[in-house]
Structure 1
């Protein structure tokens, strides 16, 4: 079933926010067996919205829109859809009840928020359990348009719990069978070369997608239709044998979640000492619900004085080897482990850039130390020239290094 995604909002066009909704929706819909034909980002302009819908409906069966459903004057999507479908806004008490339930024991519902209870007359209203703007579902001449809020967590909740189940019921699509492998030790091109024969011998209809991330690789093997499950499992077995211990996980989840699982499984606790990553590792780890069970805290030792005064790093090592060195990062890890009273520690010190590099230690030089109980390992990595990529890359590498260290100690 052919589908299009339209994100609405001036803030997207001027670069004030990044349109992450389209990518998420496309991934979700593709996994459910829908074909994404196109994506469009347009402004808060009534005529442009109507023209875009008219144009795209010539090529697709389903349009999913996000944005423009708030209570302020620039949120015009609801009114525009009334014009497009030749209907009017009417008051819906059930929507107001939902809004008031959300605001219970919080701020009183003001007039602008109360206006969210006015919805197009000729549509199916889907209550938004995590926000005030309801989802509206229009059907005309065999075509479907679903209008959702632009707030990402609201959109995701309603896509997963309301929109996708209703679309699957209506169109009875065959979903994809897929598996994601998180692989280390390969660049994208090296992995593609290694798997050339495997790809060339895949049965018809199978696909293998390479999804590079910051210093890690994801592989997605897929085929459409549950009836091909036996064939799919055979290809999974082949891929597992080819990749062996390079496979870190067979679930599509971030490295911080993988690390949390292995810490819990081994009854280990973790603390971090971060210099060039500036607390990013701690942020990633604590983004996972339940991280308090294994993560105790972080010391952002950006200055040398914090390294020496709090982590007890030797000032002579800092002066002799520099802050970005094996000796310093090793002491940082041990200091974090002692100070935070944990079994494990991660320490990172590097030159994130864009300035500060030397011939001996160019931008992108990172030392990472990981400690498990009484053992510490320190390794040097050479990343790139771009600050954000270096911070994210160092964060992922550090967590992978600790995962591998825990696994190796169990062998």
Structure 2
């Protein structure tokens, strides 16, 4: 049993300072690229691509949405795919073997769909094989991919049985994320307004998922560097993985990890990584929907203190609201509305702002305008837009 009286102690302030620095939020990392920034935060959530552009732009000095687009579709240093929690992410192309090896090794979650909707393990493998073959040398819309899957499997795969956005999706779509996690699928460039899917091997010749044990160990190390101190349960929540499995994974890496205490609660870091930041947490940021810092950092009750939990969390889920971050802690919400070349930004602080904080908010709104390549205007007042689904 660990003698907690001997554990290194970190305050919440220490933890915020470390995380802000490692995310490039206290100051952008010099000479960083979009792929470097995405690697540092262990993936950028990209269900809303403009939010991912802001997440990356905040961490890369002078970067704009055009730089993110260049990295994604021309330089190919980023890949748009299904990442942690089965959600759409941008990941560094150089790290895709690691991510595929780790994500494909996570045990499946408990079923949430009725038995007559679910695919059997054999059917899931059959659909993934059909997807793999269909996108090997093509960029297909979801309808084109659906037709290819049906032709290679059978009509059962396209039965419209999955409730989705007021309609029904074909059965096979419940394993799109699985195909991505196995390295068979990623997003291609849009065809007009339509999303396309393709194979990452088209621009990563020889790509293969890394061995599972190596990939999972490396992912724990990277996660703890970016989000530690953290617990196995928080790691499991970040991945949407079983808690017992995450605890066993941390136990298997015990020789590499060190227990610390954060304001009285135990958590883990990489062995030896216990030094606080040279400076305390500082700075004002306007983080977009589903920013990695907001989603990945715990404990929630410290990151979203007091009224922030009620205002900026959706049923305990982080990321549904863009947030005002002051010294590493959520202190408000904001919303941006684009109209042509103009960006109207409303910021709702949850506590009175000092004159310095008001000026910093103005500076951060200007930075949003630079990233999104439009002219911004800021209003301090209530945000009336609800959370993102």
Please give the TM-score of this superposition, normalised by the length of structure 2: 0.23
Please give the TM-score of this superposition, normalised by the length of structure 1: 0.22
Which structure has the larger Rg? Answer: 1
